[in-house]
Amino acid sequence: MSLKDDKYRNDPPQTIRIGKIEPTGEPCEEFYPGPAAMIIFGASGDLARRKIMPALFKLTRSKILTENFFIMGMARTEMDSDSFRRMIEAALREAGGFDEAIWERFSKKLYYKTVDYTDIKALEEAGRLIAEKERAHGTNGNRIFYLATPPSVYEGIIESIKASGLSGNGENQARVVIEKPSGRDLESARALDSVVLRNFTEEQVFRIDHYLGKETVQNILMLRFANAIFEPLWNRRYIDHVQITVAETNGIEKRAGYYEQAGVLRDMFQNHILQVLALAAMEPPSIYDPELVRDEKIKVLRALRPVPLNEINNWLVLGQYVEGEVDGRLVPGYREEEGVAKDSEVPTYAAMKLFIDNWRWQDVPFYIRSGKRLNKRFSEVAIQFKSVPHRLFRETLKEDIGPNTLILKIQPEERIQLRFHTKNPGSRVCLRDVFMDFSYTEGYKGLTLGAYERVLLDCMLGDKTLFVRKDGAELSWAFLTPMLDFIESGYAGAPEVNLYRAGSSGPVEADKFITREGRSWRDDG
């Protein structure tokens, strides 16, 4: 029988996983921050309970934090320090990994003060309490101010910190950590920066993006610039396109007040996704230095091709989830979520095509997408290489050979995978797809840090590699703001918000958006 017969090709291709990684050498030596006080504005809120406090607890449990450290929680909620400790203990037990002995030590470093953020006298009184605890814990007056509040009060808090004297007289170290989003458009981002930089220097400001603290995101630079086999191929000659995906199964989680003002483009694209894109596309700096790395990221953001608004529907698809089933349970649609307007047009899904106009990436499309209430939770960067230039096996294999793909998985598992093709064993000529698979946790016995732990530690150390610089934030807003204004203006031709069922892969319009160009979304599998 002829080898050209279709039944001599496996259909579908077999996929196997190979490549167990053996540990080599000793775990890296960790850096340890010096004495400091962390003052958390909005300490009674959801962000502090679910993210910040569990991260600080793990850093304590891992013996990373110095003994000369304490936390002062401040918020409008009426509470004393004992009540605050009970609230944090409950949150830590719920988060998992609770340790009674560590809690005994950690709880003694927790304090709370009820304040109105704009009441200067109340903040002056809080300053006297902080100074008292600084003497008791030996923190040398070093203060880190963490704004875990709604963005609408950032400017007032920054002004009040300076006016009340909380930021000190410059003799000691003061830093301020600002959660995203930093503004809601270019104008508001510049207004916020104006207030921030009137009261702090850019060196003191840490615009946090916890997404950049994930190990796989950080490893993009190492993978590219420490391996000679990748960087020569990392350009328009060999790469067909790049996909960056942040898919979530959860909804808005009682954050309607924020999400109704933000939507998916402000929530995920402006900071998370564009920052990951910049890391994946940047040129190598001369040395690994925080400012030089950020300089190269800025060049990528500056080279983003503006989306033509008269053709915006060829570049952008929006969606909003309706009632459906996720993980075996029925969930409400976005408009049925508590606090959401019944006629809301806020998008919870977006897929966008963009280009970087420089020599490395000219005319290589980057497809970026993010959505809530989807059928799978995964985040990844997929580098899809061009197909082989000559179909050597065209007479033997009737189907096209798929492209090679390098997949940087960010969550829920942090992995690197390389997809390539080999022959199946036996006399038949047929292919199988192989995934060479590397897991960050397999074979590693050293300390592993979550995203918030990583960025909090870097803030204490003063390492700004993973933090967004003023010009980086402004360039992201400059790219997105014209689209946001056009979408929210209601002008004719603005993208419709397409409905998709919760538990699906998103609106069908997003599939048509990429398939009309002869490509398809990469599913997590």
Catalytic residue IDs: 272
Cα(244)–Cα(524) distance, integer angstroms: 12
Contacts (Cβ under 8 Å, ≥6 apart) of 48: 40, 42, 73, 148
185 φ, ψ to 5°?
-165, 180
By C-alpha distance, which of 48, 37, 12, 262 is closest to 144?
37
DSSP result, 268-329: IIIIIIHHHHHHHHPPPPSS--HHHHHHHHHHHHHTBPPP-GGGGGGTEEEEEEESEEETTE
Length of the chain equals: 525
Cα(490)–Cα(298) distance, integer angstroms: 32
Q: Which two three-digit tokens encode residue 2? A: 């002829």
215 φ, ψ to 5°?
-55, -45
| Inter-residue contact 349 to 324 (CB < 8 Å) | no
Cα(299)–Cα(305) distance, integer angstroms: 12
First to last CA, the chain: 35
CA distances from 266 to 261, 270, 280, 347, 483 (A): 9, 5, 21, 10, 11
Helix/strand/coil for 69 = strand
Helix/strand/coil for 61 = helix
Q: Which two three-digit tokens encode residue 215? A: 């190990």
By C-alpha distance, which of 470, 451, 469 is closest to 293?
469
HEC secondary structure over 203-254: HHEEECCHHHHCHHHHHHHHHHHCCCCCHHHCCCCCEEEEEEEEECCCCCCC
